[in-house]
Structure 1
Amino acid sequence: MDITSGHHSQHISRQFNKELDALKTHLMAMGGLVERQVQDATTALLEGNGHLAEEVCNKDHDVNAMQLQIDDECTQILARRQPAASDLRLVLAVTRAASDMERIGDEANKIARHALSLIDEGYQTNGFIEVRRISQQVRDMLRNALTAFARFDTSLALNVLHTDESVDSEYRSSMRALVTFMMEDARSIGPILNIMWVLRALERIGDHANNLAESVIYLVKGLDIRHTALDELDEKELDS
């Protein structure tokens, strides 16, 4: 059975309904935190803001704690309620999503640490157009994936999947440009290597946002598309 934002299983037990609602609320709160972490990490890098980068590193523990809380709630629901059908898909999708968001938090932490390294070296970071471009794309992906999860919106989730292909292409192009830059100026090798690791972290954030979108489709349609090529997806089936 498909589910939508306006329809989800309702139960005789009001407590079960509250538990499911709390689970979704906590996941969205975690999503909001990791979205802010990604934004702050890239801002810290581009603006050379060491204080902001340190804040991102310090908040990584909060992201981890939220994942542990959500995992515990999912375990309790599975053990006590033994959910079936769409309720079971919701719990499993939330578990997957929390794992991906914890990984996004890790990647944001990596970006912040590379920002601190560049700042300590006194390197000017405000001219990296590759980081600006890709960071904006992956932040949009993450925001849309979270919105799709909140609204049970498979069309928006599918849009995220298509955007991931664009991010991968931009990433490869940026890496080639940076390699060329290092070959032309050996003095830039150290700082550029840091930027390459930042771009890798951003590309991984895009991958995890992609996973979130796949979880939405699984939640709503019951379709596991994790190993399905994008051009094989039937948009009509997802929209029906």
Structure 2
Amino acid sequence: MSATNTLLIEALSFAYGDKKALNNVSFAIRPGECMVLLGPNGAGKSTLFSLITRLYDTRQGRIELCGFDIKKHTRHALAKLGVVFQQTTLDMDLTVLQNLRYHTALHGLGRSVANQRIQQELERLNMYERRHEKVRQLNGGHRRRVEIARSLLHKPALLLLDEPTVGLDVPSRHALVEYVHQLVCEEQLSVLWASHLIDEIYPEDHVIVLHKGQIRAKGSVADVLALTQTSQIKDAFTKLTEAA
């Protein structure tokens, strides 16, 4: 087991019939590290997330979460994982509080601990006063805040974010990006953030450029810039994804 890594991916490959979606992908994320996953449509980002969350079964390669093999110790591994998908998975006809209590019940948290964590997370996102509102009454930015709060209630070690800012206005998007980076810095949360928006990358982040199922570059922002001999990530991304 590799407990020093929050997430370990080794030689991961996956195909849909004859079409290879991922080809020998390997990388690791350490505690307190934000890894931004960049790639054009069809690069394999969604397939990778589906394998990490066990929506798809891993056939080739290995995935470990906090040292737990995701196939051999699925329950222990997934307990370390928080997820925010691109499409909302909140129940629109339940209140914010009801949505969050349902999540804590699934993770076996007692009522007292659940209430304490719900209040803590909603207050940190300035949403506690809206806890009795139905989700459908909230705008897109506020729904995202609720989903972020929900993903953190069981104290995961790794947060998966699948393009969570899609459809948000600029202030909401910037606030969400800043909040997640604050969690990384202050609580040593590990994050794997799939995005196509270059301005969501902070200088201290790590980056993976995925193209046609293969990792074209990985490392710190400085590492990727040095590899591509560029001065900006957007130029590095263009250079790496235009290659055959």
TM-score band (shorter)? 0.3 to 0.5
Higher helix share: 1
Q: TM-score, length-normalised on structure 2?
A: 0.32
Larger radius of gyration: 1
Q: TM-score, normalised by structure 1?
A: 0.32
Greater per-residue strand proportion: 2
